[in-house]
Amino acid sequence: MSKETNPSSQIHSAPSLIGRAGGESSSFFNPEFETLTREQLEALQLERLKKTVEHCLTNEFYQKKFAEAGITPDDIQTLADVRKLPFTTKQDLRDTYPFGMACVPLRDCVRLHSSSGTTGNPTVILHTQKDLDEWANQVARNLWMVGLRPDDVFQNSSGYGMFTGGLGFQYGAERLGMLTVPAAAGNSLRQIKFIKDFGTTAIHAVPSYVTRLYEVMQEEGVDPRRDTKLRVLAIGAEPHSEEQRQRIEQMMGVKAYNSFGMSEMCGPGVGFECPEQNGLHFWEDYYIVEIVDPETLEPVPDGEIGELVLTTLCREAMPLLRYRTRDLTRVLGRSCPCGRNHVRLDRMRGRSDDMMVLRGVNIFPIQIEKILMQFPELASNYLITLTTDENNDNMTVEVELAQPTDDYKRLQNLEREIKRRLKDEILLTPFVKLVAKGTLPVSEGKAVRVVDKRKVYQ
Ligand code: AMP
Ligand code: ZN
């Protein structure tokens, strides 16, 4: 019996009924907000922006910022006026660590997430109960959008704890009404047992972990198409190429949807692909989305790559104005055959901090991944190491082979061809090392793709 027809489903708390407004056959979880026209969306954004600005001004940090910029809430009359507002950065969060950017008393906060920085203070993000409710709603909206319903079984194979991919998806999947398995990351044998025993139909994990899971399935003789009920994957939290996604879809035999999240905005739920898979819908009832030139900080035209800047519109505990995410992307469109007019952004090219500068050339790890994934002879795990030799910077790309082989001639040719294709893409020739499967490190969280051992950091 489906949960919809079972009278005991009445015990669901009110918010999970949101998606039922249009019934389970509706493709919208929040039809009221998902189907707004651009005009309606922008009117809603302006109204919410004004409230957010007033709310921010209860906090000393923002009072100072506004005074420095010489602006008051009255300066916000149109949506374009968002550009008058000061930017905020990760450094601001570090400088005000731990609670300096809170806009409600601490006693009104019920959760804290923290991301560890490589230098200095970590960042802290606070949530009120309403923030958590909205966040769960955002995640539920995404999962509903790609066809998940209360009869699905959702296995969250992502790290829990401070990393928002754990609790974020947990509460979102529960909000939708799915049986939700907090499997957490790692322990692939146990994951596979759960998938089979519980009839898991959907998994959330970082893409690098999905490929690892598939390798273990292969070792165990498990065919995801034949032996599981999997039908949807949500992959995200780390940059991955379209080629990597297609590989994952082919391996697992299901659709894999790109999920964008960041703890500063809440966590997962900020942007997600719809079934059209033509970019990530960023939810503009929750955020104002700007793409700016990272140097001049001026807006770039649609279609041009720039830095993603987000302003929260519904956050109580820690609203953020014009937060510089450092993620590089571009606007693909503002309408979609799926019926949503929320902006569509291209998959993240990487973070500006991930950019490697090698012999004067700017390179993103994702460019290298894109090429590697085009070779069926290669597995999905790779590592880029940067070193200095005398005065030259060098790059070594180590990549695992899909199948073991002793055919040195073939390996040599393969290596040569990889180098050639990489050179076309990144304009310099790296060293390429083909290694056996299982040789390179696999992290349970976000994959570490680059190790920079150069003497001089650029
Ligand atoms: P965290 O706050 O630790 O969850 O990290 C957020 C960052 O992870 C973002 O700013 C992005 O750089 C990265 N990220 C999250 N989701 C994606 C995604 N789908 N594609 C590419 N990068 C992502
Ligand atoms: Zn769409």
Structure tokens at 146: 């790609």
User: What confidence tens digit (pLDDT) does each residue in 282-313 have?
Assistant: 999 999 999 999 999 999 999 999 999 999 99
Instruction: Considering only residues 10 and 146, tell me which one the structure prediction assigns the higher pLDDT.
Output: 146
User: What confidence tens digit (pLDDT) does each residue in 182-232 have?
Assistant: 999 999 999 999 999 999 999 999 999 999 999 999 999 999 999 999 999
Residue 118 banded pLDDT, cuts 50, 70, 90: low
Give, using CA atoms, the residue closest to atom 21 of ligand 1: 239
Ligand nearest to the CA of 162: 1
- Give the integer Cα–Cα distance in Å for 166 and 205: 9
Ligand 2 mean position, distance from CA 33 (Å) = 14
CA 326 to ligand 1: nearest atom: 10
- Give the integer Cα–Cα distance in Å for 431 and 384: 10
Distances, alpha carbon 154 to alpha carbons 5, 229, 231, in Å: 20, 11, 10
Percentage of the chain exceeding pLDDT 70: 93
Q: Are 338 and 275 within 8 A, CB to CB? A: yes
- Give the integer Cα–Cα distance in Å for 324 and 322: 6
304 Cα distance to chain centroid:
20
Between 109-118, 357-366, 409-418, the lowest mean confidence (pLDDT) is in 109-118
261 burial via Cβ count (<10 Å: 0-12, 13-18, 19+): buried
User: pTM of the full predicted structure?
Assistant: 0.92
Q: Give the model's pLDDT for residue 359.
A: 87
CA 264 to ligand 1: nearest atom: 2
Buried b (16+ CB within 10 A) or exposed e, 447-456: bebbeeebee
Ligand 1 mean position, distance from CA 66 (Å) = 29
Between 44-48, 115-119, 371-375, the lowest mean confidence (pLDDT) is in 115-119
Q: Give the model's pLDDT for residue 350.
A: 87
Ligand 1 mean position, distance from CA 238 (Å) = 5
Query: Which one of 209, 262, 307 would you pick to mutate in the ligand 1 pocket, going by the greatest count of ligand atoms within 8 A of its CB?
Result: 262
Ligand nearest to the CA of 274: 2
Ligand 2 mean position, distance from CA 340 (Å) = 6
Taking 60 as the threshold, does the pLDDT of residue 178 lie above it?
yes
Taking 80 as the threshold, does the pLDDT of residue 343 lie above it?
yes
pLDDT (mean) for 2-16: 43
pLDDT (mean) for 318-333: 97
**CA-based angle 416:418:420, to the nearest 5?**
70
Give the neighbor-by-neighbor strand order of the sheet with 378-389: 431-435, 392-401, 378-389, 450-452
The number of helix segments (H) and strand segments (E) in the chain equals 12, 21
Residue 11 banded pLDDT, cuts 50, 70, 90: very low
Taking 70 as the threshold, does the pLDDT of residue 423 lie above it?
yes
Give, using CA atoms, the residue closest to atom 4 of ligand 1: 262
User: What confidence tens digit (pLDDT) does each residue in 70-102 have?
Assistant: 999 999 999 999 999 999 999 999 999 999 999
Question: How would you classify the pairing of strands 255-262 and 306-312?
Answer: unpaired
Q: Are 432 and 399 within 8 A, CB to CB? A: yes
Structure tokens at 113: 């997430």
Ligand 1 mean position, distance from CA 446 (Å) = 9
Ligand nearest to the CA of 449: 1
CA 327 to ligand 1: nearest atom: 12
Q: Which residues line ligand 1 (CB under 6 A)?
A: 115, 164, 236-239, 258-263, 325, 327, 348, 351
Q: Give the model's pLDDT for residue 233.
A: 98
Residue 352 banded pLDDT, cuts 50, 70, 90: confident
Please name each of the domains of the chain with its CATH number. 1-351 (3.40.50.12780), 356-457 (3.30.300.30)
Query: Which one of 118, 327, 366 would you pick to mutate in the ligand 1 pocket, going by the greatest count of ligand atoms within 8 A of its CB?
Result: 327
Ligand 2 mean position, distance from CA 56 (Å) = 32
CA 325 to ligand 1: nearest atom: 10
Percentage of the chain exceeding pLDDT 90: 86
Q: Are 368 and 425 within 8 A, CB to CB? A: yes
Ligand 1 mean position, distance from CA 383 (Å) = 19
Q: Give the model's pLDDT for residue 19.
A: 52
Q: How high is the mean pLDDT of the chain?
A: 93
Taking 70 as the threshold, does the pLDDT of residue 431 lie above it?
yes
Taking 50 as the threshold, does the pLDDT of residue 458 lie above it?
no
Ligand 2 mean position, distance from CA 249 (Å) = 19
Cis peptide before 105 (omega within 30 of 0): no
Residue 378, strand partner residues: 401
Between 111-125, 262-276, 440-454, the lowest mean confidence (pLDDT) is in 111-125
- Residues near 351 by Cβ (< 8 Å), separated by ≥ 6? 239, 325, 326, 327, 328
Ligand nearest to the CA of 125: 1
- Give the integer Cα–Cα distance in Å for 120 and 391: 30
Between 75-79, 120-124, 347-351, the lowest mean confidence (pLDDT) is in 120-124
